[in-house]
A and B are shown apart, each in its own frame.
Chain A
Amino acid sequence: MSASTAAATRRPPPWRDVRVLRVALQALFLLAVVSLVLFLLDNLVFNLRRLGIETGFGFLDQPAGFAIPDSDFRSSQSVRAAIFQGARTTLVVALAGIALATVLGIVVGVARLSPNWLVRRTAALYVESFRNVPVLLIIIFLYLAVFLRLPPIGRAVEWVDVFVLSNRGLVVPSLAGTGSTGPFLAVVVVGLAAAVATWIWRTRRFDATGQPHHRVLWALGVVVAIVAVGFLATGRPYGLSLPERGDLGVAHGFRLGPEYAALLFGLVLYTASHIAEIVRGSILAVSRGQGEAADALGLSPFQRLRLVVLPQAFRIMIPPLANQYLNLTKNSSLGIAISVYEVTKVTRVSIAQGSPAPQAIAILMLVYLVISLSIAFVTNLVNRRLALP
């Protein structure tokens, strides 16, 4: 008590008091940052006014003035709608790319540790050649030198109505609704619920009795059976839309345009080469004893990988993997180089059509920030669930 009062009476003068100095320093720093930002903003508004460019965000409601190929977007719709359409394309490309790159990356990463010399070297060759080349170059190469060089539609590569491959892209069969699809979708939901219930039941039974659970087979069987019965009972609401090649193009089916294919495969090939290295490193980081213990228990090499090594490797893998997912999402902006209308290309075109550049680019950055933060949020959740308590 007395010590503290003594300290209080012997307070240093304000210019040597740490607490005062800290507050003063921060105030000074904030003042500098704020005045810099204000200076830039002031210049921005001044220059925009000087050039007669609007300073607000009213341009979002103006008609876009351009159409987006391969979509329903018309040029009379607003800039806002165009940006949403572009953001959707970005998301679709990113999610599809993440899924494919993960699968390819895990396969190649495991292959790099294969006991077979040839497999090991092939995987290493793939990783080292794609990892060290700019992803933009890969994308442009795939687009201009591979997908646009495919045979024209008249000489398209066809395989019994299942796919048509030409320089207009790849066309594959798709599902097309032919009647009322509502009841059938309800049946599908019921089937999935039943499958989950079966899964839980088989797992409980396995826990209780120790008999083989075969839960994957059981759950699949249940869902397939229910969906098949439902499909027939509701009057076959879906038909298969098979591609039909004409002289000028392909009718029906789902078409993956050459530019989308180039962007997607470019991102996947590049990112998978990075993911493969992460997978390899994580598997090597799982202690050797774990694999040896699995061998001692008589697990097959596949079981050893699937049940013992990979689950532990996943835990190590998640943070760097999340980084690669973010990179892939951001790299999808390179679609602009080959005219994929994702959000960057849409923004670029709308600037060319007269949208004010500063605001449009600010919105573009916001879109990427939202997507990046969402992916970071999801991977953080997964990481927390997998982390050791």
Chain B
Amino acid sequence: MSVLEPTAQEPMPVPEPPRRTVGPRAWARENLFSGPANTAVSIVFGLLLAWVAYRVGRFVLVDARWEIIERNLENLLVFRYPRDELWRLWGALFVLAAGFGLAAGIGSRGAAHATALTALRRAAPMLVLVGVLLAFAGSLQATLLVAGVTATAVLARLAGTRLALRGRIAPVIGLASLLAAYLLVAHFGGVGWRDWGGFHLTIFLAVGGIVLSFPLGVLLALGRRSRLPAVRWVCIAYIELIRGVPLITILFMGAFMLGFFLPEGVDTPSAVTRALVAITIFTSAYVAEIVRGGLQSVPRGQVEAAQALGLSTLKTTRLIVLPQALRAVIPATVGQFISLFKDTSLVFIVGLTELLGVAEAITKQPDFLAQGLLVETLLFAAFVYWAGSYWMSRESQRLEQRLGVGER
């Protein structure tokens, strides 16, 4: 032991492995043409890819008639929201940029400092999406406003890293900005969600669904792990029942049955409300399973230590178990949010006009009727969904790595 001690204290400098400097030719030989079979595969795939790229590129750049998107961009994004009140949506974007920028800044304290290049790469899908939208909009005003929103987000993030705010305030700021944005858009002379549509409705259903189902999911998860058999079995029954059926059946239930369940004299709520209720019922079961995973990941010793300190069951859960569990489930919750973001397209089937619904509806305008423009509109919708969920899935992977390595 004593012989080894000096080396243990002063570790030998480990020589760096030799840097592999590979020229393009050597790289190609290794990765593409390492043998006859590999060469053949490379040639076949190369031709195939070139053909696909040519066809797609030709369609997107030459053949496609993007006029339908240009003229309907506002419809696709906000549908029937009154054009006089659009400033509310821009205002909401500013509020959200400030709130989430601040929250992200607070949350990212202690993380490795990001260079401008990595920041750009991280935001790439979003930048592409915004760029495409602005190209379709072709308006200076929109470009300036987007620049303003971006600047607000960046400044708020910088402020978040500098200001002496406590870490646990970040989710509060995020939620508060959501609430403020909602109030600005829907109240004080705005338009309620009954008349929302387009991408605006897509985002509202996804965000509203996850925000409403999260507390319900936490309660269900706690109930599923309860020591009281009656509570446990009711929660298990609810979770497994909901997870066993497709979302569309629950949307049907909302659309056709919700009115039946209400007492006499209560008006049947609007289609958007019914869809939101159905989405919340559905998502809460999945959130419950995610949170259960988080609860199981909290070491037993934590609970035992809390009990040793004399904390009550309620306090143990609230102060010791939940904070650790909820921290661990953030990435999985983002994953659930992504799948909800995609699943909101199903409300199209029960007659709501969210992004997919508008993409379908605008091909029936008199100017564009029966011209086969569905390919263009559906591709546009697919691109918007793709950019959003690709960006979020990469962010959640990053978050997962950071939380996994972080101070635990």
Contacts and interface: CB of A to CB of B under 8 A. Distances in A.
A369 interface: yes
A295 B315 CA distance: 56
A43 B385 contact: no
B249 A47 contact: no
Interface stretch (A66-74, A163-171, A188-196, A332-340): A332-340
B259 interface: yes
Given A133-B382, A136-B356, A128 B246 contact: no
A341 interface: no
Interface in B340-378: 342-343, 345-346, 348-349, 356, 360, 372, 374-375, 378
Nearest 5 pairs of A and B residues by beta carbon: A117-B31, A330-B246, A357-B256, A26-B230, A134-B342
Contacts of B38: 115-116
A167 to B, nearest CB: 13
A138 B345 CA distance: 11
Contact of B31 (A22, A115, A348): A115
B87 interface: no
B342 A135 contact: yes
A40 B374 contact: no
Contacts of B393: 131-132
A129 B230 CA distance: 45
Interface stretch (A140-148, A280-288, A380-388): A140-148
Interface stretch (B41-49, B72-80, B293-301): B41-49
B26 interface: no
B118 to A, nearest CB: 19
Contacts of A348: 252
Interface in B356-408: 356, 360, 372, 374-375, 378-379, 381-382, 385-386, 389-390, 393
B6 interface: no
Contacts of A336: 248, 349
A128 B385 CA distance: 12
Contact of A137 (B32, B338, B385): B385
A372 B248 contact: no
A10 interface: no
B346 A334 contact: yes
Contacts of A26: 228-231
Contact of B385 (A133, A140, A357): A133
Interface residues of A, number: 54
Contacts of B227: 22
B163 interface: no
Given A50-B264, A331-B246, A364-B252, A141 B378 contact: yes
B386 A344 contact: no
Contact of A358 (B42, B46, B260): B260
A361 interface: yes
26 contacts: A43-B262, A43-B264, A44-B260, A46-B264, A47-B260, A50-B264, A115-B31, A115-B34, A116-B32, A118-B49, A132-B385, A133-B342, A133-B385, A133-B386, A134-B343, A135-B342, A137-B378, A140-B378, A141-B382, A144-B374, A149-B372, A330-B247, A337-B348, A358-B256, A361-B256, A365-B241
A177 to B, nearest CB: 37
B374 A132 contact: no
B246 A33 contact: no
A30 B260 contact: no
Contact of A361 (B34, B234, B253): B253
A368 B246 contact: yes
A24 B212 CA distance: 30
A246 to B, nearest CB: 27
Residue of A135, A140, A336 with most chain B CB atoms under a 10 A cut-off: A140
B13 interface: no
A363 B49 CA distance: 47
A185 interface: no
Given A118-B42, A128-B390, A330 B245 contact: yes
Contacts of A334: 248, 346, 349
A129 B234 CA distance: 40
A206 interface: no
B188 interface: no
A347 B38 CA distance: 52
B310 interface: no
Interface in A241-267: none
Nearest to A48: B260
B378 A333 contact: no
Nearest to A369: B244
A132 B390 contact: yes
A373 B244 CA distance: 7
A365 B346 CA distance: 17
A122 interface: yes
Interface string B28-71: 00011010001001100110110000000000000000000000
Nearest to A146: B375
Contacts of A43: 260-264
A29 interface: yes
A119 interface: yes
A89 B262 CA distance: 34
B249 A116 contact: no
A113 interface: no
Interface string B105-141: 0000000000000000000000000000000000000
Given A337-B349, A344-B246, A134 B385 contact: yes
Given A115-B38, A119-B41, A145-B375, A136 B348 contact: yes
B390 A361 contact: no
Interface in A344-372: 344, 347-348, 351, 357-358, 361, 364-365, 368-369, 372
A46 B372 CA distance: 48
B257 interface: yes
A116 B41 contact: yes
A357 B346 contact: no
Interface in A267-297: none
Given A351-B256, A358-B257, A369-B245, A118 B32 contact: yes
Residue of B46, B248, B263, B375 with most chain A CB atoms under a 10 A cut-off: B248
A20 interface: no
